[in-house]
Amino acid sequence: MKNALDEESFIAPASRLLIVEDEPQIVAFLRKGLRDAGYEVEHTHSGAEGLAAARQVDVDLVVLDLCLPDLDGTEVLRRLRAGGSHVPVIVLTARGDTADRVQGLDQGADDYLAKPFAFAELKARIRARLRRREDEAAMQLGVGGLVLDLRTRRVRAHGRELELTAREFALLEEFLRHPGEVLSREWLLARIWGLEFDPGSNVVDVYVGHLRRKLGEGSIQTVRGRGYRLSTGRRPGTASQNVTP
Ligand code: CA
């Protein structure tokens, strides 16, 4: 059986939490406790500020109160998800009845905790959400607004889901594994089609054409005489994420 210290050791020291809560005593209590647990903690008193802060890319998890003075927490959550954010959100509320809980989860909350709650339980739920997020990140490839999920075989471009065939998916995966690099036709033929020589079919060019139509014409650049390169829209390498093969 794991003891409390084993559980604590899972915390990634740099994880940044955002608390959106208007009650000063609860804020003070959460800030101190979560900082002591090794997290970076930010906080806002209002829903509008909380929504803006939650949209920052470096927020790893949001603890969101539902009852806020300006924008209700459910509305913060709805707008956050409508904007395409997948940041984990744990909802805190005094309204602990089933209807509110279902509504919170329907709006895109990842978890739900009714006040009064035990601080140890909040910490446990935060750890569980952050671990799941790390697992998911390891199964994704992403560059400049493109996200390819290796487990679900889904692709999103700036939040919009794309329908790709298996071959198109495999081709895009190669490009995302080598952001900013020029990939030759020969290399792609060998990797995607298992062919040692070009049978004269221009199959690579045809499939690059398919991807360009789905991703946008500027998405894959032709490098004359050398091959193709995924346009990252950034300096090579800065936006790529880890991957576990
Ligand atoms: Ca409140």
Q: How confident is the model over 205-223, as pLDDT tens digits? A: 999 999 999 998 889 999 9
The rounded Å distance from CA 72 to ligand 1 centre is 9
The rounded Å distance from CA 15 to ligand 1 centre is 24
- Report residue 175 CA to chain centroid gap: 20
Contact predicate 103/201, CB 8 Å: no
Query: 16-58 pLDDT, tens per residue?
Result: 999 999 999 999 999 999 999 999 999 999 999 999 999 887 8
- Is 90 exceeded by the pLDDT of residue 184? yes
The confidence band for 7, taking pLDDT boundaries of 50, 70 and 90, is very low
Query: 70-124 pLDDT, tens per residue?
Result: 998 989 999 998 887 889 999 987 765 666 666 667 778 888 888 888 999 999 9
Place of tokens 């603890």: 63
The confidence band for 5, taking pLDDT boundaries of 50, 70 and 90, is very low
The rounded Å distance from CA 90 to ligand 1 centre is 14
Task: Tell me how far apart the alpha carbons of residues 229 and 222 are, in angstroms, rounded to a whole number.
Answer: 7
The rounded Å distance from CA 26 to ligand 1 centre is 9
The rounded Å distance from CA 94 to ligand 1 centre is 8
The confidence band for 190, taking pLDDT boundaries of 50, 70 and 90, is confident
Q: Averaged over 193-205, what is the pLDDT? A: 81
Place of tokens 């995302």: 176
pLDDT at 233 (0 to 100): 64
- Is 80 exceeded by the pLDDT of residue 6? no
The rounded Å distance from CA 69 to ligand 1 centre is 7
pLDDT at 240 (0 to 100): 38
Query: 124-180 pLDDT, tens per residue?
Result: 999 999 988 887 777 888 888 889 998 888 999 888 899 999 899 999 999 998 888
The rounded Å distance from CA 23 to ligand 1 centre is 6
pLDDT at 127 (0 to 100): 93
pLDDT at 122 (0 to 100): 95
The rounded Å distance from CA 93 to ligand 1 centre is 7
Phi first, then psi: what are they for 77, rounded to 5°?
A: -65, -45
Structural domains in the chain, CATH included, are: 4-135 (3.40.50.2300), 140-230 (1.10.10.10)
Phi first, then psi: what are they for 93, rounded to 5°?
A: -160, 155
The rounded Å distance from CA 188 to ligand 1 centre is 55
Contact predicate 116/91, CB 8 Å: no
The confidence band for 244, taking pLDDT boundaries of 50, 70 and 90, is very low
240 or 108: which leads in pLDDT? 108
Find the angle CA(231)-CA(146)-CA(135) to the nearest 5 degrees.
130
The confidence band for 1, taking pLDDT boundaries of 50, 70 and 90, is very low
